[in-house]
A and B are shown apart, each in its own frame.
Chain A
Amino acid sequence: MKNYEPKRILTGAEIIWECLIIEGVRTVFGYPGGAILPTYDAFYKYRKKIHHVLTRHEQGATHMADGYARASGKVGVAMATSGPGATNMITGLATAMMDSSPIVCITGQVPRHFIGTDAFQETDITGAVIPVTKHCYLVMEINKLASTISEAFYLARTGRPGPILIDIPKDIQNESVEFEYSNKLIQIPGYHLPPNPPNHHIIKVIKLINEAKFPIIFCGNGVILSGASSEILKLAEKSGIPIATTLLGIGGVPDSHPLVLGMMGMHGHSWVNHAIQEADLIIACGMRFDDRVTGKLNTYSPNSKKIHIDIDASEFNKNVKVDISVHSDLKIFLKELNPYLKTHTHKKWLRKISFWRKESHGRDVLNRKHKVLMAAEVIREIWKNTDENTVIITDVGQHQMLEAQYYNHENPRTLLTSGGLGTMGFSLPAGIGASFHSLENEIWIIVGDGSIQMTITELATAVQENSNINIAIINNGYLGMVRQWQEMFYDARYSETPITSPDYVIIAEAYGLSGQRVTSFDDINSAIKKAQSINGPAIIEFIVEKEDLVYPMVSTGADLNDMVQRPKKDYNLKSDNKKELLN
């Protein structure tokens, strides 16, 4: 970060852009309006230094900032006007909050003397977003504007990252002041980062690791956020302990590594959940024992000692009682820990896990023949046709879980997905946002027919920006994941889950991008290759089996290893949707 240039009188609006430039921001995702007009006017001067992406909805702007942040590890920035512009950001803020994604949202506010009068487009946005932000500010003095922005960026990216909102009244954007910017201005007496070096638990941790016979390491989002991939692999390799990942931990360790078992939890692999239940030691790295990961709490991994390493102390013992909680940045702690480890292997334990693994082989949907296209096959073929630096952004639903199961990730930040909030509509805007970081990498958005229709407006943004993204729409004619629950727990009463779609090929054409439709397995590869060859956005709609289910599944409230498996006998088609489509 550069230090400030002294003695420049700038308006609040100019200060905003100057601050963003100093923070290294190159792209801002936003949407103008009355209360942010002075800032957009000032932008005219700065448009050579910062690229502004005009989204089609403020929710899209926040998801784009979020996608950019997740792909890059840097802070993503979104901008909007007061009132409806600001409230449209709430879903994006909550999504970023749940998954610890660093974004800064800047909103215009009505002029100070109007605050509290229910002025036109006035919303108490700071009041509204307290529960869904790491912190938020209403700037009431021009003198505090620059320091607030610098504080916001600092808070967003340090500690456990998270979203910050800065609400700036219009009259402050117009006021002038001498501009000063320096990270030395940051004074946050109540912001407590964990001690460095960490409080010493190393001896106790080592003792548990040495005593364990059936140990397992958990790789959560914290591994990616703290950049601890090589440290966690070192821990695993040296001590011979296998690793299971959470949904957001995917990519934190390479799926091809012999010690990496795959995803745990509700739709995790059966062998992983078995291993967790039988384990005698869990080393949980940067994860929070979400209910989608644990299943029934009082039977969760009953015989294991548990070590929990996290940067956020409020996560300790929140859901699962642990034996040792280590309050630290993960990378720092693992670096301290690793030299003390004894070299070890757990052959018997690994053999047991591979036995469970083999058992489930015959139930894998890919090992069966089907008359119609299966979503899992589509995802597998996309995986085969892409390299390990490809960034996949998924939406929420069955296709999201299938991606987690059937696309193998080798690198951190190659799977971006809304895990904590499960926000439908996330993928298209997040993918557009990610494309502003990952210019070199191929980008694939994997999205359901329900989810795409939530934020489909952003296709126009992708076209305007000529974003190099590939959009794979997995069309099963249903809000599939909800239908799955209806089939399993509500006697197949498909209440309001069948959903129609527009003709996506015509939609693509109307928006001005490439569109293809694939209905059979044999056409997958050529369609993928064609999309890849297009420099700019491309859609492929895959018409897949309508009533497939994601297996295995742990029902809510069931033990983690009590999983519903894909039936053993050959899969029967429930619908011949190919025919339906051609009619």
Chain B
Amino acid sequence: MNQTLIAFVEDKPGVLNRITSLFRRRNFNIDSLVVGKTEKKNISRMTIVANEKNSEKRKNIYFNLIKLINVILVKDVSDIPCIEREYILVKVCINSENLNSFNELAKKYGARIIDLSSNSAIIEASESKDRISILIDKLTPFNIVEIMRTGKMAMQKGLEPKNKEVHNINGQQNLTDNLWATKQLNSYLK
């Protein structure tokens, strides 16, 4: 199974560059990387999927990632119940004959038709990776023109115990949800 990491990073120029540079330099493979803004100002959130199987290497990726100065928190959610979603846009050729079956297919797989012309349609779907792959399979007979697919986004199910830890950096009281990091570090250092 792939390794899924959630990283909270400072929203500053060059941070993505540092992360991809790290993966390249350490010879870790990135399967996908999704980045976007969060509920917190100046903090972006990434879901990184790495296809490393070796458990020592996985820990090494985690520690190298958290070592980057602009990376605030990292959580390895590979073995934690999460909602995982990819988003896809597919343009297909359609005609009056297959329009009905196309509609049904979309409905069945939770995809929405968001653009329709006389000979083409664009549908969108946000689903787990597997369901997205099935959807693509099923769409193949319709003559796919183009596909745009994002990487995976992950969010842990349920609520984290809201236990704000004070992380003391050089006399600064720095409130972060550091419990995540601390817990993870401890479990890795066993």
Residues on A close to B: CB < 8 A? 126-127, 130-131, 134-135, 138, 154-155, 183-184, 186-193, 195, 199, 312-314, 316-318, 321, 325-327
Contacts and interface: CB of A to CB of B under 8 A. Distances in A.
B38 interface: no
Contacts, number: 75
A138 B185 CA distance: 31
A130 B189 contact: no
Contact of B9 (A126, A190, A195): A190
Contacts of B112: none
Interface stretch (B130-138, B156-164, B167-175): B167-175
A572 to B, nearest CB: 45
A312 B67 contact: yes
B69 A188 contact: yes
Nearest to A127: B17
A313 B185 contact: yes
Interface stretch (B58-66, B87-95, B100-108, B115-123): B58-66
Interface in B1-22: 9-10, 13-14, 17-18, 21
B172 A187 contact: yes
Contacts of A199: 186, 189
Contacts of A134: 69
B61 to A, nearest CB: 9
Nearest to B70: A190
B108 to A, nearest CB: 44
Contact of B69 (A135, A138, A317): A135
Contact of B72 (A130, A190, A313, A316): A190
B71 interface: yes
B63 A313 contact: yes
B25 interface: yes
Given A130-B21, A190-B69, A314-B67, 8 more contacts: A155-B69, A186-B169, A187-B174, A189-B167, A190-B72, A313-B66, A316-B63, A327-B189
B68 interface: yes
23 contacts: A130-B18, A130-B21, A131-B21, A134-B69, A138-B14, A184-B172, A186-B169, A186-B170, A188-B169, A189-B169, A189-B174, A190-B66, A191-B69, A192-B66, A192-B167, A199-B186, A313-B66, A313-B67, A316-B63, A316-B189, A325-B189, A326-B189, A327-B189
Given A183-B170, A314-B67, A189 B176 contact: yes
Contacts of A192: 66-67, 167, 181
A155 B182 CA distance: 21
A183 B169 CA distance: 11
Contacts of B182: 195
A130 B17 contact: yes
Contacts of A155: 69
Contacts of A318: 60
A154 B170 CA distance: 9
Contacts of B97: none
Contact of B60 (A187, A195, A317): A317
Contacts of B14: 126-127, 130, 138
Contacts of B70: 190
Contacts of A313: 63, 66-67, 185, 188-189
B115 to A, nearest CB: 36
A184 B171 contact: yes
Given A154-B170, A187-B174, A316 B59 contact: yes
Contacts of B189: 199, 313, 316, 325-327
Interface centre among B13, B67, B181 (most CB of A within 10 A): B67
Given A130-B17, A130-B18, A190 B174 contact: no
Interface string B116-157: 000000000000000000000000000000000000000000
A193 B67 contact: no
A490 to B, nearest CB: 28
B56 interface: yes
Given A184-B171, A313-B185, A190 B71 contact: yes
Q: Which 9 A-B pairs have the closest CB atoms?
A: A314-B63, A190-B72, A313-B63, A317-B56, A135-B69, A314-B64, A130-B21, A189-B72, A190-B71
A16 B167 CA distance: 30
Contacts of B186: 199
Contacts of B176: 189
B105 to A, nearest CB: 45
A137 to B, nearest CB: 9
Nearest to B72: A190
Nearest to A196: B168
A191 B56 contact: no
Given A191-B69, A327-B185, A317 B59 contact: yes
Contacts of B66: 190, 192, 313
